[in-house]
Amino acid sequence: MRRSNKPLASRMVSPMGLLFNRFAFAFLLALGLTLLVAGRSGIGPVEQVRTGLLDVLAPVLDVISRPVSAINDLATEIEQLSRVYEENDRLRQENARLLHWQAVARALERDNAQYRRLLNVRARSDVTYITARVVGESGGPFVKTLLLAAGERDGVEPDQAVVSELGLVGRITEAGRNAARILLITDLNSRIPVMLEGSRRRAILSGDNSGRPLLAFLEAEAEVQPGDRVVTSGHGGMLPPGLVVGVVASVTENQVRLRPFVDLARLERVNVLRYRRPSLVNDRNGP
């Protein structure tokens, strides 16, 4: 049978085609709006479907992100190679300084252990790590998230803290079987209880999608200066206390902004903290 030579576009603009097209457009428009409303209000299985599809997409991203990761590693190595002498000199000086700090830390550790024994303090060592690769970024302007190639199968669960070697990155918001999503501390929806390390004044670290999240609800009488270190307070029991977050970047009359220690745009591997929250209920015996 000979195929019609009539171009598809002219076939598409036939009355039936036009009607179908308009119907499809209206249907998809309504579907999109429904998804938005359902997602916002938590109606229906939107979150479950999203997590399920994340599991399907994450392995694909994992595969195609490997060459990118290799190129990034190569670029970093070349960059480091170009300033190896300068770096070597810097590290030598830092090593001398750290050796001094090591001696101080050992002495303090001994003292601490002695005081703990005297006071019968219960040591908390219930934090373990899961190291995982970052395979995707949100990339969009309205959300700041990362995709992780580890999920429930590896022990990752929602609300766990995510850190890099430099400090806090964010927390897990979704966990599928093989993949999980991290909400970065800079995201609009991120709220982390923190405190100024020196004065122990509490605040809420509130993301606004910029690279410099706000320190909200800081006590009015709190003295804060650029350069002050900020750590997690552990209040609310979601995150372990004492995780380093960043330093105060700017202080104005209305707002205090923080510069995170972690370069959130260049993360390749992160650690998910498995932290047993303090609870009044005995987990072993059940409620």
Interface residues with other proteins (CB under 8 A) are 3, 5, 7-10, 12, 21, 24-25, 28-29, 31-36, 39-40, 46, 50, 53-54, 57, 60-61, 64-65, 68-69, 72, 134-147, 173-174, 181, 183-184, 186, 188-189, 208-211, 263-268
Nearest to 256 by CA among 208, 187, 188, 189: 208
Q: Please state, in angstroms and as integers, the Cα–Cα distance from residue 55 to each residue in 51, 155, 176, following that order.
A: 7, 15, 6
Distance CA 177, CA 56 (A): 10
Q: Which of 159, 178, 152, 162 is nearest to 63 (CA)?
A: 178
Question: To the nearest whole angstrom, how small is the minimum distance from the Cβ of residue 30 to other proteins?
Answer: 10
DSSP 8-state symbol, 213: -
Our CB check for other proteins shows the closer of 83 and 266 to be 266
Q: Which is nearer to other proteins, 25 or 115 (CB)?
A: 25
Instruction: Tell me how far apart the alpha carbons of residues 203 and 72 are, in angstroms, rounded to a whole number.
Output: 36
By beta-carbon proximity to other proteins, the closer residue of 10 and 114 is: 10
**CB 207 → other proteins: shortest distance, Å?**
10
In the complex, minimum distance from the CB of residue 212 to other proteins, in angstroms, rounded to a whole number: 11
CA distance to 34, 45, 46, 144, 173, per residue, from 41 (Å): 11, 11, 10, 21, 17
Q: Name the helix (H) or strand (E) containing 136.
A: strand 127-137
How far apart are CB 11 and other proteins at their closest, in Å? Answer: 8
**Closest CB to other proteins among 137 and 152?**
137
Spatial CA neighbour of 185 closest among 168, 172, 173: 168
Q: Alpha helices of the chain — where are they, by DSSP H?
A: 8-12, 15-41, 46-82, 84-119
Nearest residue (CB) to other proteins, 201 versus 257: 257
Nearer residue to other proteins within complex by CB, 213 or 234: 213
User: What is the closest distance, in whole angstroms, from the C-beta atom of residue 279 to other proteins in the complex?
Assistant: 29
d(CA 286, CA 200): 35
| Shortest distance, position 182 Cβ to other proteins, whole Å | 9
Minimum CB distance to other proteins, residue 247 (Å): 18
The residue among 141 and 278 lying less far from other proteins, judged by its C-beta, is 141
